[in-house]
Each structure stands twice: as structure tokens, then as C-alpha cells.
Structure 1
Amino acid sequence: MWFRHRRTRSVAALAVAVLSVTSACSADRGEESLIHADSLVIAVKEDQPRLGDTSENGRLEGYDVDVARYIADYMGVEDVEFIGTTSARRDGLLARPESGGSPTPETDPTGTPERADMVVATYSITPERKTRVTFAGPYYVAKQDILVRADDDEVFEARDLEGSTICQGEGSYSTSRITAGLGIDVREESKIESYSRCIELLAEGEVDAVSTDNLILAGFMTEYPGEFRLVNNPFTDEKYGVGLPYGDVAACEVVNEAISTMYRDGTAEELFRKWFDGTGIEEFDENGEERTYNVPQFEGCE
């Protein structure tokens, strides 16, 4: 299921200014905004340790899950259902054919449409994705980095990947940032179902490296203690956005307010430390300054 109409709203964030955006945008499309929801279906990863993973009791948990809960709470929505997704399925879960710009909707094995109201799943904001999805945020700016086996003494930066076999999860753009972005000639293992499978292939010696967001890589390192080395030489910014149905500008504005509040009240730092302290992510920025937890620069709701 997806969101139902909310009968009341007591959250200060849904102020007159935001409601005016709703009438200007959602009404033109003939559909409701998520700010009217009294329940939400939120898609998160289910196989990425510390970001979105299935716990022993079967519950989805991690940094992204906690961020999503914070946003839903800010919106005044208590009825939240979390579903798992892969990188390749994220766009389709948000598809609303009537809104335009969206891809083919996802369906289950019986052909029944599957939908999510919101996707919080290491979903990097890119110009190409913004033609299909409305993004709030970013709520975190990760860095693309490289994971190799612990005994690898040759890879210390992206250019050392020349001629190597790189594993990429289906629906991700990580390898293209090395090849097209940096002009490095690598052999690519593409269309692997998920990054968890890429990590297995790295452990088995079937690929030379996995390159994606440093939070994803650091999370997997905790599942394979001593087997891998995080190069810790990042080369791109990965802006994690909250994916929303295309054109829901009103919801985007409210989610941005939630993210701003999350940083101002200290929750952003608290959640990051909860899930990533001790994982190998550097505590200092590229200038040697201690990490700060400031509100990221938003992309703007389009």
C-alpha cells in the first residue's frame, strides 16, 4: 500500500507557505502531495550494513532507516512501513505514470504494481535521475572510495585501478565515475544485482576492487573484519537525496525542513556516530579539520 489521506496535521513545518506550494504544484497535476499522508511506505536498502540492513529479528535498521524515521516523525506520520529495495529498483518504486518524468513502475512476480512514497536508500542525486524523481536534500554527502582485499599492496588511489576488474551494483553509476569521469581504463563487472554480491566476489578473488560510496564500503568492512582495506582516498561527492514522486515539490520542501532541523538539533551527528564510529571513515576532512555536521547545501526542489 502507499499513503492514505491525513485528516489532521499538527506539525509546524506544514505552514501556509508550504501549503501554497501544494496548491500551485500538486493541484496542477491532479494528485495529492505526501504532506497529506497519514501513512507512508518508505524504501530502504536491506543488504547494506549500517545503512539499511535486515537485523536478526527481521527488522530493517541502519542510518538511512533512522533518517527516514526522523523525517516521517517531523511530518507527523506515525504509520510507516519500510520495504527493501536494490539500486536498480529505486526509480520504479516511485513511478507515478500520471505525473510524467517517471520510469516504468515496479511490479511483483504476479504483476501487481509495487510503490513507495519515499526512498531513503543511498540514493545519489544526479541530473539524469532528477528527470524522473524529485529529490529532497541531500541529507548526507558521502565520498566515493575504493575497497580492496587486505593483502592488496598496489591500490592507493583511483588511478591505481588501471586494468583492474571493478564490480558495480546494477542501477549504480560508480564505475562510470572512474572510467568516464577520470579517464581510467578498467574492466567492469556490471549488472551485478547488489553491492552485497560485489563484496562477496571481492572476498572470493573474482574481482579486484569495489568502488562506491565510503559509507557503504565502511559498513561492509564491519561484516568482514580483517579481510578488506578501505583506501580512504575519496574522489567524488555523492549527495544522498530523499527520493519522492516526480513533481511533489510541496513534500520536497517539508523534507528539506526536516533535514535542516535534524542537523540543528544534533540528531544528524548522533545518528552518524551511532552507526559509523569505528568503521574506518575518517574523522577529519581533507583539510585536516575535525569533521563538522553542518546542513548540506540543498539541490533545490524542482
Structure 2
Amino acid sequence: MHMRRTGAVLSLAAMVGGLAACGGDDKTYASLADKVKDGGTVVVGTKWDQPSLGLKKGAEPEGFDVDVAKAVLNKMAGGKDVKVTWKESASSNREPFLANGTVDIVFATYSITEERKKKVTFGGPYVIAHQDVMVRKDDTSINTPQDLKGKKICKAAGSNSYKRITDPPPDGQLDLDATTVDAASYSECVQKLGGNNLDALTTDDLILAGFAKQAGGNFKVLGQGFTDEKYGIGLKKGDTKTCEAVNTAVKALWDDGTMKQLLQKWFGGIQGLKLSETAPPAEGCA
């Protein structure tokens, strides 16, 4: 009995220690929220290859997700500046980075799904995106998502967007017979689309809008979103204290107008794009 109890205590200590030691600080914390309040350095995972969302052009990434991360952490710290180390987090490594402590928190076009909830605790969502389709500007054969039947679409590593086209509900949406072409990231998908190795790229409209804006008119977005993609804030599984703090911060940012300002800053004026006007309801931290 004594041996079993000791083992359980050690297991619990290891679990808490793993949560607390995120980001490589020598000091340990019971939650990321405690670390933020104590002034510890927070390791934030973002995309580094997605224009207007998370794109590394200099010493740090820039974009909507980056600005939201800064604003949320600032609210959590009571208005104080938070020391941040930025870490590139592609779709394929968001879950393992959170699980092994490589990052403390992820803001990276991270759609909340039931499958992902098994591995990650999500704060938010902080905005709702909608899956849409981007094609070359001179392509007249694809005018609706349903026109992707028989076409070549991109399958970015770690993303489930292609399933919305190829699979039936509940995981998919349209159940179309389309051919998937593998790519390591959405930036590689865009390269393949520009090189005529794809017929279309389909994913969240905010992602597509950023790439279309960067390409200077070489691509067009159909403007026919057909899903709701709830962008969540990824946290280590079980860190409900931080999740609740994050949700409080997100609500405050919508209430004071910051979120609408950031959406306009990065996505305002893009044809076919409908931006969120109100705060999405929180998913809950259970």
C-alpha cells in the first residue's frame, strides 16, 4: 500500500513538474498563469510562414496571431509587459510541442476539434474563420467548393482542412472525389498552386487571405466559406487555470475593441472576406 501511494505521489509530482517547467525556466510553476503573473519568460508557438497571421520577417514573427498572443498575455499579466520567446510551431508539431514543454502556449490558426481536445486544453476561441478555396486568378473552372470534385487539392502536414472536402461528416463535410497532394506546410501548398502542381488550396479564409494579399493578385479567394473554424489557444493538457485566465483575457479584448482593431489591421479590405464582428462563445475549460 505504501509503495503504491508513493508511486502515485511521484506520478502526480512528475505531471505537475512537467507542466510547470515549460519554456525552460529554472523556476517551476503550477500553471502557465502563475508563470505569467510572476514575470517568467513565456515560450509562444506561432506559425512563421503565414502572411498576415504569423510570418517571420525579422527577429520576431508578425501578424494577427502574434498580436493576439501579445495582447492576451498582457491582459493576463494585469497590463504589464510579458517576456516572450517565439517558437515556430507548424501544424504538424503543435500537439507534441505542448506535450513535451517545447512551448508554453500556442497561437497558430489552431482550430478547436473534439479529436484535438483529447491531447490539448484549448482557451478561446478568439475568432471564427471559415474554410474557403483559393485558386489561380485566371482559373474559371472552380467557382464553388463543390467544383473541387476531380481536382487536385493540397494536403498540408498536420492540417485536417482537406478532409472537409474529401470526407463525409462528422470529420469531413463535402465528401468529394478529389486528389490530395502532400505538402509540408501551407506555404509549400501556395508554391505548388503557383507552379500548376495543384488546382486549388482550401483551408481557413484568414490563411488564404494572407497568402492572396502577399501574392499581389496572382490568386483569388472564392469568398464562399462553408465551415466554422474556431481558432483556439493551445495549452498543455489539464492546465485549466491558465485556460480560464486566457478566456477572461479574450473576452476583455473583444469588449474593449482590440480584437476588431487587429482584424482590420491585418485583413481589412480583402475582397470576399467576412470578418468576425462579435466575440465567439468560449468552449469551456473542462
Q: Is residue 232 of structure 2 the alignment partner of residue 241 of structure 1?
A: yes
Structure 1's consecutive aligned runs of 4 or more residues displaced over 6 angstroms after TM superposition are none
Cα 1:257/1:5, change in 2 over 3 Å: farther
Which of the residues 272, 276, 292 maps onto 2:267? Answer: 276
Conserved 8 A contact 1:218-1:281: no
Q: Secondary structure at the match of 1:219?
A: helix
Q: CA RMSD in A?
A: 1.7
| 2:281 is the alignment partner of 1:294 | no
Q: Report deviation, 1:4.
A: 4.4
Deviation per CA, 1:254-286: give whole Å up to 9, x if none.
Answer: 000000000000000110011111233434xxx
> TM-score when scaled to structure 1?
0.80
Higher helix share: 2
| Partner amino acid, structure 2, of 1:219 | G
Matches within 5 A, 1:1-302: 2=23, 4=25, 32-37=30-35, 38-55=40-57, 57-76=58-77, 78-95=82-99, 105=100, 115-180=102-167, 181-190=173-182, 192-283=183-274, 293-302=277-286
Given the two structures, how large is their TM-score scaled by the length of structure 2?
0.85
8 A contact 1:157–1:231 mirrored in 2? yes
User: Is the contact made by 1:215 and 1:281 (CA closer than 8 Å) also made in structure 2?
Assistant: no
**For residues 131 and 159 of structure 1, what CA distance do their matches in structure 2 show?**
31
**1:214·1:281 contact (CA, 8 Å) conserved in 2?**
no
Q: Which secondary structure does the structure 1 equivalent of 2:59 belong to?
A: coil
Q: Which runs of 5+ in 1 are unaligned?
A: 8-30, 96-104, 106-113, 284-290
- Length, aligned pairs only: 253
Stretch moving more, 68-77 or 38-47: 68-77
User: After superposition, what is the alpha-carbon deviation per residue over 1:172-202, rounded to whole angstroms, capped at 9, x for unaligned?
Assistant: 0011111112111100113x11000000000
Which range moves more in the overlay, 196-205 or 272-281?
272-281
2: CA distance, partners of 1:240 / 1:249: 18
Identity among equivalent pairs (%):
41
Once residues 26 and 252 of structure 2 are traced to their aligned partners in structure 1, the CA distance between those partners, rounded to angstroms, is 25
CA distance in 2 between counterparts of 1:155 and 1:221 reads 16
